[in-house]
Amino acid sequence: MHSSHCVFVCVSLLCAQNPNVSHQLAALHSDVRAARQGADATAEELRGVNNQLRAKDKEITRMQKAVRDTHSYTTHTQSTRCTH
């Protein structure tokens, strides 16, 4: 806690002595904020894509089961037909 206070005091003194540093710090803070927002947006988009993939995977699984069930029914029906 003490070291962060010292950093704050040093930065404050530096900004007071050189206003350009204050503008540079503000620009850096803005860049960091924008980067965080971009990362948050990307994470949200990734969650959406993952949800779509899970939905498609469930749909594929459902379709595969339907094909297996149809094939099983067809095979069973053909093997139990009356040949008379």
pLDDT for 78: 66
pLDDT for 60: 97
Q: Are 31 and 37 in contact (CB under 8 A)?
A: no
Residue ranges of domains in the chain: 14-79
pLDDT for 19: 77
pTM of the model: 0.54
Q: What are phi and psi of 29, to 5 degrees?
A: -60, -40
pLDDT for 18: 78
Question: From the first residue on, what is the mean pLDDT of each consecutive set of 10 residues in the chain (84 residues)?
Answer: 70 77 87 96 97 98 93 69 56
Q: What is the CA radius of gyration of the chain?
A: 32
pLDDT for 2: 64
pLDDT for 56: 98
User: What single letter denotes the amino acid at residue 67?
Assistant: V
